[in-house]
Structure 1
């Protein structure tokens, strides 16, 4: 298989399902060797199988993004023999659920969980990805954020804080490393049809969330993955430090 990313290597957190899985398949289709990371071996193996069945190359590694030693090991495993890593796609995360509460009633436990996985996990992943990219003067990092990273959402204090934090990390890293050949961007995704979003939710809740998207539907993982490939490729060579809405108009309301 050959493509615009032939001979490159990518590390993808949350690669066992949803956006991470779709990104792995899309990057591999362009010739990139992808290493997917996550906490569930079964889903990681499923993604690797899908990539290989499509003619791509992939490996998996167990990783808990809230644990720095685990992240460091996983990123090292994803790099080439000489330590090069071309792309980091940070997709691991947890959602805010449906327990909507005004900020004063938001539980400390839920807030800490959002920050620990969604925000700290992104920070740790970026930290170790960048350490592999800097010596080579080349790289692109794509953080999978959310529309909740650029607008407020009532009842989702922890999730909104974590996603805004991801966007802030993206902008800061872009400034830190822009002159070193490394670009850092985020995708402010709208609601996407993944197991994390749809599983177990009453139809009326899903209907309300779909209605929040002016395009009239939620997104597909492959639509976010297309943006990931673009941000990794040289076609986006003048793009860094931004959170690009791929959201069916959600943030335009």
Structure 2
């Protein structure tokens, strides 16, 4: 239970869902964890849960699209814990009700998606880097999405900004690898979080199970465990990589379902 012993981790978007799961799992592995979110109640609940489990945590309220707010967040974490070893840029998202196909895309939503996903990743990393370098190196973990790997009938903005996060991850890895800063990304598939359940109709959620290779959707902890691995020294020789954690959603041939009928009866 000490894969992250002695490390200090800062996780944005930790007020619920995947970010909360990652924070709890990192704490369980020995990390001191600063958790940040715009939802003060949510992030304080995350921090309190960590404290109740015997860990050490700091709750921070942040607007990840505002550089001053991001700088204050990073500085507060370093003041509290004395150093920074891990940054998880987890804030992101889009509004699927207005992030539609190109002709019907609300461009205001596109701008918001750029700020929430791209700008936040750049700002968080830029302000964390001096502290990571000062400590002799560290790990940046960005949250991308399978939406950045494939085309879709809607959410054109979300796909574009998550593809950008993947490229940003590679660039940071190249630029700061000589200072022993690693940067990797996780691309979740469909994960049962409040955001997914709140944004997608029940029928769509059920349909997602049918396109997975595995017959179920992911839990936040499934992504959190991957983040723990990327934060730990177990992944010390990995940088600029994208780990797809999607239950096999993106590996299936489009013809697979139709070809199922060609299989001989089992037994």
1:49 equivalent to 2:48? Answer yes
TM-score (norm 2): 0.90
Structure 2 CA distance for aligned equivalents of residues 62 and 246 of structure 1: 28
Q: Once structures 1 and 2 are overlaid, which stretch shifts more, 2-11 or 24-33?
A: 2-11
Structure 2 CA distance for aligned equivalents of residues 67 and 51 of structure 1: 27
Residue aligning to 1:9: 8
| Helix, strand or coil at the partner of 1:252 | coil
Structure with greater Cα Rg:
2
Q: CA deviation at 1:212?
A: 2.6
1:252 equivalent to 2:251? Answer yes
CA contact (8 A) 2:90 2:142 kept: yes
1:209 equivalent to 2:208? Answer yes
Residue aligning to 1:231: 230
Give CA-to-partner distance per residue, 1:211-239, whole Å, 9 cap, x none: 23221221100010100110011111111
The count of aligned residue pairs is 252
Residue aligning to 1:64: 63
Give CA-to-partner distance per residue, 1:53-92, whole Å, 9 cap, x none: 2221111111000000000000111125685210001111
Change in 2 beyond 3 A, CA 1:243/1:96 = farther
Residue aligning to 2:261: none
Q: CA deviation at 1:132?
A: 1.4
1:124 equivalent to 2:123? Answer yes
Q: CA deviation at 1:154?
A: 2.4
Give CA-to-partner distance per residue, 1:171-219, whole Å, 9 cap, x none: 0000001121111000011111110111263221212223232212211
Structure 2 CA distance for aligned equivalents of residues 87 and 106 of structure 1: 35
CA contact (8 A) 1:172 1:241 kept: yes
Q: CA deviation at 1:151?
A: 2.1
- Unpaired segments ≥5 residues, structure 1: none
For 1:26-105, what aligned pairs fall within 5 Å after superposition?
A: 26-80=25-79, 84-99=83-98, 101-105=100-104
